[in-house]
Amino acid sequence: MDFQSILQFFSTISLSSTAIYTSSTIIVCAVLIIALERIFPYKTQEFFREGFFGDLFWYTLVQSYVLSILIFDVLIQWLDSASGLGRLQIVTNWPIWVQLVFFVLVHDCYIYWFHRFQHKNKYLWRIHEAHHSVKDIDWLAGSRSHSLEILVNQTIEFAPMVLLGAPIEVIAWKGVIDATTGMFIHCNIDVRTGWLKYIINGPELHRWHHAHDKDAIDHNFSTKFAFWDYMFGTAFFPQRERKPIGYGLVRALEFPKNYFKQHLYAFRKHERAK
Ligand SMILES: [Zn+2]
Ligand SMILES: [Zn+2]
């Protein structure tokens, strides 16, 4: 065994151990959140709620697998080889935790504004609508997002990381943070985080983003940090006793149940203004 192959051997070990740690973290968090939803539910609802299997199979497994290949192995790889930026390794030597904090914070600010814009712009709303179509918000609800929305957002999220030279561990753990916070902010747990809710986003705030209530509409655009909503005046947190009258799209009956039809629905004709 020459030195090169020893190095290669160790690099595959560390890569696969990262994959093992990251995927088991996601599974452990999912199990924990599901258990807490049973013990401290916010709202009484079925575990196998409408759209559960589609969200799990099509959105969580198939779509994220196919898109990760398209985003990382095609789009970002092309951007990287065309620009040659990754070779400069601009952030590679920063401590891992500094890179993670930096990328999480910068991306979270971007996604706050992009998300807010998606609610304003009628074309961008079309690719965000699917996310708002879930009628019972739970640990899995966050996974329902149109593939074009994911394609745009995850390319914008991960391309800078690759181009700035972030190692695979940072990219993988950023993915874990995305997955676990996504489950957390949508979970059906009666979470009460006290003063922390001004910093960390959670279901207390995000469920109102999915609510039908007129006064809640166009509020709580934050994903990971709640302070963007407080800073930019879009936070909505009514009295604790009040609960949303319902979740989902106002015209929910029209939204298709089938994964492929849900995708095509984004391209329907725009109605003329009355
Ligand atoms: Zn939204
Ligand atoms: Zn959501």
Least Cα distance to 165 among 106, 107, 88, 69 occurs for 88
What whole-number percentage of the chain has pLDDT above 70?
93
Q: For residue 272, what pLDDT band results from cuts at 50, 70 and 90?
A: low
Determine contact, residues 31/183, Cβ cutoff 8 Å.
Answer: no
Tens-digit pLDDT profile for residues 61-111: 999 999 999 999 999 999 999 999 988 899 999 999 999 999 999 999 999
Residue 254 pLDDT > 90? no
In the predicted model, is pLDDT for residue 274 greater than 60?
no
**Per-residue pLDDT at 269:** 87
Mean pLDDT of 110-135: 97
Span 193-201, mean pLDDT? 95
pLDDT recorded at residue 71: 97
Q: How far is the CA of 80 from the centre of ligand 1 (A)?
A: 31
Residue 53 maps to a domain: yes
23 CA from centroid of ligand 1 (Å): 27
What's the mean pLDDT when you consider all of the chain? 93
Does position 198 have pLDDT exceeding 90, yes or no? yes
Quick one: three-class SS letters along 218-237? CCCCCCCECHHHHHCCCCCC
Q: Which ligand is nearest to the CA of 141?
A: 2
pLDDT band at 35 (very low <50, low <70, confident <90, very high): very high
Alpha carbons 69 and 22: distance in angstroms, whole number: 18
Distance from the alpha carbon of residue 164 to the mean position of ligand 1, in angstroms: 29
Q: 234: pLDDT confidence band, cut at 50, 70 and 90?
A: very high
Q: Does a structural domain hold residue 270?
A: no
| Stretch 35-56: mean pLDDT | 96
Whose atoms come closest to the Cα of 112: which ligand?
1
Residue 273 domain-assigned? Answer: no
Range of the domain at 46: 3-265
247 three-class SS:
strand
How far does the centroid of ligand 2 lie from the alpha carbon of residue 271, in Å? 25
Asked, for residue 56, whether it belongs to a domain, the answer is yes
Say which residue the tokens 């959105």 belong to. Answer: 59
The answer to whether residue 272 is domain-embedded is no
Ligand 1 centre and the CA of 211: distance in Å? 10
Ligand 1 centroid to 31 CA: how many Å? 25
Cα of 219 to ligand 1 centre, how many Å? 9
Ligand 1 centroid to residue 120 C-alpha, Å: 10
Q: Which ligand is nearest to the CA of 220?
A: 1
Ligand 2 midpoint to CA 11 (Å): 37
Task: Kindly state the percentage of the chain with pLDDT values over 90.
Answer: 85
pTM value > 0.85: yes
Nearest ligand to the C-alpha of residue 142? Answer: 2
Question: pLDDT tier at 6 (50, 70, 90 boundaries)?
Answer: low
pLDDT category at 273 given cuts 50, 70, 90 is low
Rounded CA Rg of the chain: 20
Distance 93 CA to ligand 2 centre (A): 34
Indicate if the pLDDT at residue 14 is higher than 70.
no
- Cα 142 to middle of ligand 2, angstroms: 5
Nearest ligand to the CA of 118 is 1
Say whether pLDDT at 250 is over 90. Answer: no
Local confidence band at 1 (pLDDT 50, 70, 90 cut-offs): low
Q: What is the pLDDT of residue 13?
A: 58
* pLDDT greater than 90 at residue 135: yes
- How far is the centre of ligand 1, averaged over its atoms, from the C-alpha of 168 (Å)? 30
CA distance 134 to 99: 34
Task: Considering every ligand atom shown, identify the ligand nearest to the alpha carbon of residue 145 and give its number.
Answer: 2
The Å distance, Cα 95 to ligand 1 centre, comes to: 33
Ligand 1 centroid distance, CA of 116 (Å): 7
> 79 in a domain, yes or no?
yes
Q: How far is the CA of 2 from the centre of ligand 1 (A)?
A: 54
H helix or E strand, kind and range, residue 203: helix 203-209
Establish if 82 belongs to a structural domain. Answer: yes
Contacts 24+ apart (CB under 8 A), 254-262: 255/129, 255/133, 257/50, 257/51, 257/54, 258/54, 259/54, 259/58, 259/59, 262/130, 262/133, 262/146
Averaged over 216-226, what is the pLDDT?
A: 97
CA distance 198 to 31: 26
Report the number of distinct structural domains present in the chain: 1
Task: Output the CA torsion 123→126→132→133 (10° steps).
Answer: 160
Q: Is the pLDDT of residue 11 over 80?
A: no
